[in-house]
Chain A
Amino acid sequence: MSKPAERWIGASVPRLEDLPLVTGRGRFAGDVDFPHQLHMRIVRSSLAHGRLISVDTAAARAMDGVVAVWTAADIADLPPIEFREGPIEKLAPYRQLVLAAERVRYVGDPVAAVFAEDPYIAEDAAECVVVEIEELEPVLDAAATPVEYRPGLDTESTICRQGYGDVDAIFADAATVVEIDVSIGRHSGVPLETRGAIGRYDAARDVLELHGAAKVPHRNRESLARMLGRSTAGVHLYEGHVGGGFGIRGEIYPEDVLVLVAAMRLGRPVKWLEDRREHMIAANQSRQQRHRIRAAVDGEGRVLAIDDDFFHDQGAYLRTHGSRVVDTTCGILPGPYRLPHYRVNGHVRMTNKTPCATYRSPGRFESNFARERLMDAVAERLGLSRVEVRRRNLIAPREMPFERPLVALGDDVVYDSGRYEALLDKALAHIGWDALERDVVSRRAAGEYFGLGLAIYVEKSGLGPTDGARVNIHTSGEIEVITGGASVGQGFETVIAQVCAEVLGSDYRQVRVIHGRTDRIEYGIGAHATRATVMTANAAAVAANKVRAKALDMAAQLLQADAADLDIADGRVVRKGEGEGASIGLGELAHHLRPTSPTRGDRDPGLTAEGWFNTSHMTYPYGVQIAVAAIDKDTGAVRIEKLLIAYDIGRAINPMLVEGQLVGGFAQGLGGSLLEEFRYDERGQPLSVTFADYLLPTAHDVPNVDVMLTEDAPSGVNPLGIKGAGEGGIAAAGAVIASAIDDALGSAGTITRLPITPQYLKATIDAARAAVRV
């Protein structure tokens, strides 16, 4: 039943976390209840921009079952929600208050909080809170001239500038300059489980607890402790099951702060569950950018310089990420191309829409779309094939590690390893690109709108700087790994168990992985930025290796052998090369190492160790996506007939889970490319507040995704050689779908914006046909 010890890494073993999930015994935020809890309901601004004249709570407070109704005045001592990475003085005035005071800046901006005995009463009472707002002109276009945000500050909160080389000189002398103006629509991660937060103050222990945490519990503990003026020792966060994270879940929002403050001040646990409409106006949105981007190209199709000026529609406030999405966009935009000269200005523009932050592949979905649209435009201008123009610009393996004088997520950009052209060739061969090009010719001749798309991209993963894990083997032989990581459903427990099992010569099903608990381990950076597997698995490997050494040392004494002659297989220490003979189980060794054990000698008690993995740089996986698309000329509907994701993961711990991440990510990317958009009317009223208006892709809409996983370029910056997969499927989805649809239209450069709607395609096709007739 057990596999040989060295075989757990790389094996597509089933997920350990599935049993409770598929048998309805998971514990999501909605499943967390405490005796005597109150229920919170938020009263939100119904206008996009206005002066808050008054909030009358008298009628609501008078209702039976209502315990309290708070406005900004009741929590005036609370600071705005802070940036996770620490204070940024210039951006501080753009932070969001827990409850709006004086101004409301988006539809959904919290202005009051109702606390009541049950959620029905809370919602009834919320309807009775009378909010008087003097409407002001909303700002809805991030590319328009900035206006006043608050006295002395305008709606351009900052400009992120990055670059290198002499861009102006290159453009002045360039053989060809290609310029495009492209936009990405506003969309976001929309998890099936909406947000939820349960605050509880345990006076017996003087501990404030937040349940329903996700993603970054340890980091949020620090922020919340600072905001609430408490010691981190008296604040604990608990992550349960998470019904989808995608970057938006697990950040600190006003509601998280409110349930904690209310739990303390009202002396009862406080539960808040977001409803879907709230989610669509209150949870972080993302993506909306407009890039005016140009390339200077030589006669051979080499891109010498890129100059990009882009506008990021940040929405009403800067939330926990500050300007990170824009920074990342700037740092990652050059992608897999050599690009000797580069300049980018990312304008962080405040508007009167829901605030934006990170959504799976932040900055890359956007920049890959802009850059790959540009590469297609370069190919068209020079009369080169789209494959060839990319090939001429790819960074070569001999140039690795490839340093760019850029920063992404606070990290200097150094591509650790990559064989980009080799992956391109494999992908083209795998999907049969040449034959598909012949199909394009024949199907177009038959009157079809049919085309191919291509995108090449570099992902980033494994954000440091560090991660720790503690491995503890119980006397039963069960292995517990306590991590500062977090699980948003990606298979975290399984991969960490696989790595520990491999190191410890045990079965991965013997490994229990703890995450998202600030009361079990002091530090943790959680699950974001495709970091969890890279960082936590390496840390777990360090800790497991220490435990292994201790186990072998203890066993050597008991078996009267040299530790170097021992190995661990099936959870038992054996002599190397001996199938039979004396052996001793890991549980027995833990027993010998218990504090009162006479055999432990002067060893520290416990078969346990802590390990840390430190890294100075991220690791950069990369991919090629190819799409085959057909457009129904009568309706404008798009069908993706084939979709290939070729992706170099360095080394896969569990290829099945990697594939799942890539396919799931692509499905979301398809949504942002063809279906999903948070739209607003001319007064800033949100138009996409239900699942009838915000169209998520369903099983009908997602094509079969062919995944080609390669391990040609193991990471050079971590001992396991692994790279991340969490965002590799979505990162280039917009780029490749746009490329394919553009090709299907037969008029390069037509697709300049996402999402691409059937109505737009139908109008485009009709206009082109009318032009031909004329």
Chain B
Amino acid sequence: MKPARFSYHLPATVDEAVALLAKLAPDDGRIIAGGQSLVPTMAFRMAQPPHLIDINGIAELNRIDVEGDIVRIGAGVRHAAFEAAGAVPGVTGVWLGQVVRHIAHYPIRTRGTFCGSVANADPASEWCCVVAALDGRVVAESASGTRRIAAADYFEGVMATSRRDDELVTAVELPLLPDGTRCGFAEFSRRPGDFAIAMAMTAYRLVDDLIVEARIAIGGAEPFPRRIAEAEAALNGQPPTAAVFAEVAAIAAAAVDPMEDSNNTADYRRSLVRAMTLRALEAAA
């Protein structure tokens, strides 16, 4: 439980950070922000990065900015920031305030970061599911420039993304949902605070009592979170009734290809996708 030897770098600006990363990434140099995933893996020596580049000293990253209908979450922003009312405006802020309570436990939330979770891309990450549900964009900066990667192009597998090793995630941009959007979230884990076995995020608006702009994203069940187009299509144009929700939940469950591991069978995960989708839809109604 003692990490292997490493060198520690503390850049003061993003430019310094990406310059260091350009130099050290080929040698498995790694960014550390909240350290809530990286530090335990280093303690187990499953990760032995010879260089750590600590971005906690870069003040410009500790910000949540709103421009028009986009919220930009800097790489220094901790999970716990979203627990404060108004941290993010409108229905999106209320929703994120509900979701954040499911991320681990409070001490971890005071340290771990939104962008760190997105960079780590654990299948059970709530924030990754948020990025997928909202079609967010990951801002990846490197010495050779800045890329804005759409969620659909970003997630590639279990803890695998299209971010290059020399790129620093400096922010994630999320579109803000229109007023009146009804948002729901549900997840299941063995204990509160554990990695979820399955989660569902749903959002829609009602126009003339019928559902429009349906979003249904599933996390935890597959290698990475994604929107489930079949389920969204089944929801759009329908009234928000129990029968509709049940049918849509069944469609979502049928659409996923669940992971199987020593703890959970694919069947169980699939049944949880159905239950969580239903609960998220009910919570949104």
Whether A124 lies near B4 (C-beta < 8 A) is yes
Instruction: Decide: B2 and A120 in contact? CB cutoff 8 A.
Output: yes
Q: How far is the CA of A328 from the CA of B201 in the complex (A)?
A: 52
Q: How far is the CA of A75 from the CA of B9 in the complex (A)?
A: 44
**B15 in contact (CB, < 8 A):** no
Bound CA–CA A275/B263 (angstroms): 24
In the bound complex, how far is the Cα of B251 from the Cα of A630, in angstroms?
28
How far apart sit A120 and B274, CA to CA, in the bound complex (Å)? Answer: 48
Q: Which of A510-539 contact B (CB under 8 A)?
A: none
A480 in the interface (beta carbon within 8 A): no
Within 8 A of B (CB), among A744-769: 758-759, 762-763, 766
Q: Are B2 and A123 in contact (CB under 8 A)?
A: yes
Q: Which of A127, A687, A763 interacts with B45 by CB under 8 Å?
A: A127
Interface residue ranges of A718-765 to B (CB < 8 Å): 758-759, 762-763
A223 to B271, CA, bound (A): 55
- Indicate if B178 sits at the interface (CB-CB under 8 A): no
A124→B45 CA distance, assembly (Å): 10
Q: Are B265 and A759 in contact (CB under 8 A)?
A: yes
**For the complex, is B44 an interface residue (Cβ under 8 Å from A)?**
yes
Q: How far is the CA of A636 from the CA of B191 in the complex (A)?
A: 13
CA distance A751 to B4 in the complex (A): 46
Is A578 on the interface with B (CB-CB < 8 A)?
no
Point out the residues of chain A lying under 8 angstroms from B190, CB to CB.
675, 695, 758
Stretch of B21-29, B140-148, B192-200, B218-226 with 4 or more beta carbons under 8 angstroms from chain A: B192-200
Asked if A762 contacts B271 (CB within 8 A), the reply is yes
Question: Are A698 and B192 closer than 8 Å at their CB atoms?
Answer: yes
Per-position contact with B for A144-172: 1 when CB-CB < 8 Å, else 0? Answer: 00000000000000000000000000000
Q: Are B5 and A124 in contact (CB under 8 A)?
A: yes
Assembly CA distance A276 to B1 (angstroms): 8
A693: B residues at CB distance < 8 A = 263
A206 within 8 Å of B (CB atoms): no
Say whether B272 contacts A635, CB under 8 Å.
yes
Specify which chain A residues have a CB less than 8 angstroms from the CB of B274 in the assembled complex: 634
Interface string of A106-129 (1 = CB under 8 A from B): 000000000000011001100100
Provide the residues of chain B in CB contact with A637, threshold 8 Å.
188
In Å, the complex CA distance between A627 and B154 comes to 48
Docked complex Cα distance between A687 and B261 (Å): 11
- Report the separation of the CA atoms of residues A700 and B105 in the bound assembly, to the nearest whole angstrom: 11
A478 within 8 A of B: no
Q: Are A701 and B275 in contact (CB under 8 A)?
A: no
Contact pick for A701, options B2, B191, B262, B278, CB 8 Å:
B191
A733 to chain B, nearest CB (A): 17
> Given the complex of chains A and B, what is the CA–CA distance between A636 and B272 in angstroms?
9
Say whether B4 contacts A700, CB under 8 Å: no
How distant is the Cα of A675 from the Cα of B4 in the complex, in angstroms?
Answer: 32
Q: Please name all residues of chain B whose beta carbon is closer than 8 Å to the beta carbon of A123 when the two chains form the complex.
A: 1-2, 45
User: What residue in chain B is nearest A127 (Cβ atoms)?
Assistant: B45
Interface residue count for A (Cβ, 8 Å)? 29
| Contact between chains at B2 and A763 (CB < 8 Å) | no
Which residues of B are found within 8 Å of A120, using beta-carbon distances?
2-3, 5
- Whether A277 contacts B262 by the Cβ 8 Å rule is no
Known interface pairs A634-B275, A759-B264; A692-B4 also in contact (CB < 8 Å): no
- Could you mark each residue 256-270 of chain B with 1 if its beta carbon is under 8 Å from any beta carbon of chain A, else 0? 000000111101100
Instruction: Determine whether the beta carbon of A692 is less than 8 Å from that of B194.
Output: yes
A639 at the interface (CB under 8 A from B): no
Contact in complex: A698, B268 (CB < 8 Å): no
Task: Across the interface, name the chain B residue whose C-beta is closest to A633.
Answer: B275
B226-285 CB contacts (< 8 Å) to partner A? 262-265, 267-268, 271-272, 274-275, 278
Q: Is A3 an interface residue (CB 8 A)?
A: no
C-alpha gap A763/B1 in the complex (Å): 38
Nearest-neighbour CB distance to chain B for A29, whole angstroms, equals: 15
Give Cα A439–Cα B281 distance, bound, in whole angstroms.
Answer: 30
Given A635-B188, A675-B191, A758-B190: A277 and B268 within 8 A (CB)?
no
Across the interface, do A681 and B191 meet the contact criterion of CB distance under 8 Å? Answer: no
User: A635 to chain B: which residues have CB within 8 Å?
Assistant: 188, 271-272, 275
B44: A residues at CB distance < 8 A:
277, 690
Residues of B with C-beta under 8 A to A766: 271
Interchain CB contact under 8 A, B195 and A275: no
Which residues of chain B come closer than 8 Å to A386, judged between CB atoms?
A: none
A253 CB, min distance to chain B CBs, angstroms: 18
Report yes or no: B262 in contact with A700, Cβ–Cβ below 8 A: no
Chain B residues contacting A277 (CB-CB under 8 Å) are: 1, 44
Cβ contacts A662-685/B at 8 Å (1 or 0 each): 000000000000010001010000
User: Is there an interface contact between A692 and B195, defined as CB atoms closer than 8 Å?
Assistant: yes
Say how far B109's CB is from chain A's closest CB, in angstroms. 15
Q: How far is the CA of A637 from the CA of B188 in the complex (A)?
A: 9
A 602-644 to B, binary, CB cutoff 8 A, 1 in contact else 0? 0000000000000000000000000000000011110000000
Q: How far, in whole Å, are A681 and B44 apart by their CA atoms in the complex?
A: 20
Task: Please report the C-alpha to C-alpha distance between residue A635 and residue B186 in the assembled complex, in whole angstroms.
Answer: 12
A119 to chain B, nearest CB (A): 5
How far apart sit A701 and B267, CA to CA, in the bound complex (Å)?
Answer: 25
Instruction: Write out, one digit per residue, whether chain A residues 682-710 have a CB within 8 A of any chain B CB (1) or not (0).
Output: 00000100101101011011000000000
CB proximity to A under 8 Å, residues B188-218: 188, 190-195
Closest B residue to A118 by CB, please name it.
Answer: B2
Distance to closest chain B CB from A770 (angstroms): 12
Kindly list chain A residues whose C-beta atoms are within 8 Å of the C-beta of B194: 692, 695
* Bound CA span A294–B232, Å: 55
Kindly state the separation between the CA atoms of A635 and B276 in the bound complex, as whole angstroms.
9
Q: How far is the CB of B19 from chain A (nearest CB, A)?
A: 29
**Given A635-B275, A766-B271, CB of A700 within 8 Å of CB of B1:** no
How many angstroms between the C-alpha atoms of A636 and B4 in the bound complex? 42
Nearest chain-A residue to B40 (Cβ)?
A690
Write out the residue numbers on chain B whose beta carbons fall within 8 Å of the beta carbon of A679. 262
CA distance A230 to B193 in the complex (A): 51
Q: How far is the CB of B125 from chain A (nearest CB, A)?
A: 14
Give every chain A residue within 8 A of B268 (Cβ-Cβ).
636, 759, 762-763
Q: How far is the CA of A120 from the CA of B272 in the complex (A)?
A: 43
Write out the residue numbers on chain B whose beta carbons fall within 8 Å of the beta carbon of A127.
4, 45
Contact A700 B2 (CB under 8 A): no
Most chain B CB within a 10 A radius of its CB, from A635, A693, A763: A635
Given A124-B4, A124-B5, A635-B275, is A698 in contact with B264 using a C-beta cutoff of 8 Å?
no
Inter-chain CA distance A637–B5, complex, in Å, is 43
In contact, B193 and A698 (Cβ under 8 angstroms): yes
Contacts of A636 in B (CB 8 A): 268
How far is B188's CA from A127's CA once the two chains are assembled, in angstroms?
38
Give Cα A750–Cα B48 distance, bound, in whole angstroms.
47
CA distance A762 to B274 in the complex (A): 13
Q: When chains A and B are docked, how far (Å) is the Cα of A697 from the Cα of B194?
A: 11
Could you tell me the distance in whole angstroms from the C-beta of A409 to the nearest C-beta in chain B? Answer: 35
A762: chain B residues within 8 A (beta carbon)? 268, 271
Chain B: which residue is nearest A679 at the CB level? B262
User: Which residue of chain B is the closest to A273 with respect to CB atoms?
Assistant: B1
Query: Which residues on B sit within 8 Å (CB–CB) of A119?
Result: 2
User: How far apart are the CA atoms of A766 and B272 in the complex, in Å?
Assistant: 13
Bound complex: CA A759 to CA B264 (Å): 7
Q: In the complex, how many angstroms separate the beta carbon of A163 from the nearest chain B beta carbon?
A: 39
A700 touches B265 (CB 8 A): no
Closest to B198 in A: A635
**A635 CA to B271 CA, complexed, in Å:** 8
Can you report 9 residue pairs joining A to B where beta carbons are below 8 Å apart? Answer: A120-B3, A123-B45, A124-B4, A127-B4, A635-B275, A692-B195, A695-B191, A700-B193, A701-B191
19 more CB-based (< 8 A) A-B contacts, given A123-B2, A634-B271, A698-B191: A120-B2, A120-B5, A123-B1, A124-B5, A127-B45, A634-B275, A635-B275, A636-B268, A681-B262, A687-B262, A690-B40, A690-B44, A695-B190, A695-B191, A700-B193, A701-B192, A758-B190, A759-B268, A762-B271
What 5 A-B pairs have minimum CB-CB distances, sorted nearest first? A275-B1, A634-B275, A700-B192, A759-B268, A123-B2
Interface residues of A (CB under 8 A from B): 119-120, 123-124, 127, 275-277, 634-637, 675, 679, 681, 687, 690, 692-693, 695, 697-698, 700-701, 758-759, 762-763, 766
